[in-house]
Structure 1
Amino acid sequence: MIGRLAGLLAEKNPPQILIDCQGVGYEVWVPMSTFYQLPGLGERITLLTHFVVREDAQLLYGFGGEPERAAFRQLIKVSGIGPRMALAVLSGMSVDDLAQAITAQDAARLTKVPGIGKKTAERLLLELKGKLGADLAAPSAPASDAQADIQQALLALGYSDKEAAAAVKALPPDVGVSDGIRLALKALAR
């Protein structure tokens, strides 16, 4: 319904701002990533918005760019995630970080956001897989099933995507899973 607002920034009270659009003041909730990029009071501002109508309120959420708004819209489609929780996620991590966490299925990264517990993080990973972050290429795709298994084992042991990919890349192409894990762990221990 309201897709964009352009006007003068009248007030800043995190996470809410007031935009004066030719005499009409719109209260807009923004993630902290957008809040930190706002101009000074009285300056022109343009935000993309998402309008939420509830039984007890009509709320306007604003974003500095389309990737943030698209991520917000994907987040609120997840069962149990409302607009406030989606705003908290986008305030706690950038869209790129969120997409990487979804792609890597990294629940630990999501639980660092206040209000996101283990079950909620797992639900986000499950429901957003393939919808958010699918456009980001994996750091390095393993060449064979054995290499994929080795990389998954390293990720399960707590190594980062980057470390696991580098260790697998250094292995001989025809190595078995158990030998590959052992060799990768030796290489990572150095």
Structure 2
Amino acid sequence: MIGRLSGTLAVVQPPLLLVDVQGVGYEVLAPMTTIFELPALGQPVQLHTHLAVSETAQQLYGFLRDADRTLFRILIKVSGVGPKMALAILSGLDGPALARCVAEDNVAALVKVPGVGKKTAERLIVELRDKLTPDFGDANDIPLMATAAPKVDHSGEAESALAALGYKPVEASKMVARASKGQPDADSATLIRLALKGMAPA
């Protein structure tokens, strides 16, 4: 089991990262909550990782915060929630926001996540109620070696990232268009953050 990676951040193509560890490149999928806090390309990075093994593939998932990895592992144990859906949930809702949704029985916020229907949202609330405290993942969990987020000046990259998280291309395009209003010089990380914020509960 690979529990942590320490290396150089070589590529960021949300949700895919490439971490160079002594000449070996590890492909890692990460939620946008992690990608927003990554160091610049070429800088050292450390990620808490989870190795998901299926009949057809082995995939690493990476998180700056151990609490986010813990939450990911809790989510994939819920019936009907696989790694892809868990990644989408954590891209739109951080630990405290998800905990609030659960505490408030906020099904409406959860069904905004691509792939999460009403039944799955209700199941998430039931199964997570005893596992998430209201302050889950709050400030004391310091991210590993986090600095400024990398900048990629292209709205198409933001749309591709949202599509990779499960949003339909037309929906992703509309989300980015709304996010870019009044933000003509916004980088892709900002556009993705604003687009997901528009889908998150108030």
TM-score by length of 2: 0.65
Aligned residue pair count: 136
Q: Deviations over 1:37-56 (max 9, x none)?
A: 11111100000000111111
Match status 1:59 vs 2:63: no
Tell me the distance in 2 between the aligned counterparts of 1:100 and 1:133: 9
- The equivalent residue for 1:83 is 83
Q: Deviations over 1:63-120 (max 9, x none)?
A: 0101111110100000010000000000011111001111222111211222211111
Mapping of residues 113-132 of structure 1, within 5 Å: 113-132=113-132
Q: Deviations over 1:114-136 (max 9, x none)?
A: 22111110010111111123666
Give RMSD over aligned pairs. 1.2
> 2:96–2:134: 8 Å Cα contact kept in structure 1?
no
Could you tell me how far 1:11 is from its partner in structure 2?
Answer: 0.6
Tell me the distance in 2 between the aligned counterparts of 1:131 and 1:65: 18
Q: Which amino acid aligns with 1:38?
A: L
> 1:93–1:113: 8 Å Cα contact kept in structure 2?
no
Name structure 2 gaps, 5 residues minimum.
137-202
What fraction of aligned residue pairs are identical, expressed as a percent? 56
Tell me the distance in 2 between the aligned counterparts of 1:61 and 1:70: 12
Name structure 1 gaps, 5 residues minimum.
137-190
Tell me the distance in 2 between the aligned counterparts of 1:117 and 1:59: 25
Moved over 6 A (4+): none
> 1:10–1:42: 8 Å Cα contact kept in structure 2?
yes
> 2:15–2:31: 8 Å Cα contact kept in structure 1?
yes
Over alpha carbons, which structure has the higher Rg? 1
TM-score by length of 1: 0.69
* Higher helix fraction (1 or 2): 1
Cα distance 1:125–1:45, how it changes in 2: closer, same or farther (>3 A)? same
Q: Which amino acid aligns with 2:64?
A: G
Tell me the distance in 2 between the aligned counterparts of 1:133 and 1:81: 20
- The equivalent residue for 1:41 is 41
Q: Which amino acid aligns with 1:106?
A: N
Q: Which amino acid aligns with 2:127?
A: E
- The equivalent residue for 1:142 is none
SS, match of residue 85 in structure 1: helix
Deviates more, 1:98-107 or 1:70-79: 98-107
Could you tell me how far 1:19 is from its partner in structure 2?
Answer: 0.1
- The equivalent residue for 2:10 is 10
Tell me the distance in 2 between the aligned counterparts of 1:132 and 1:102: 8
> 1:102–1:133: 8 Å Cα contact kept in structure 2?
no
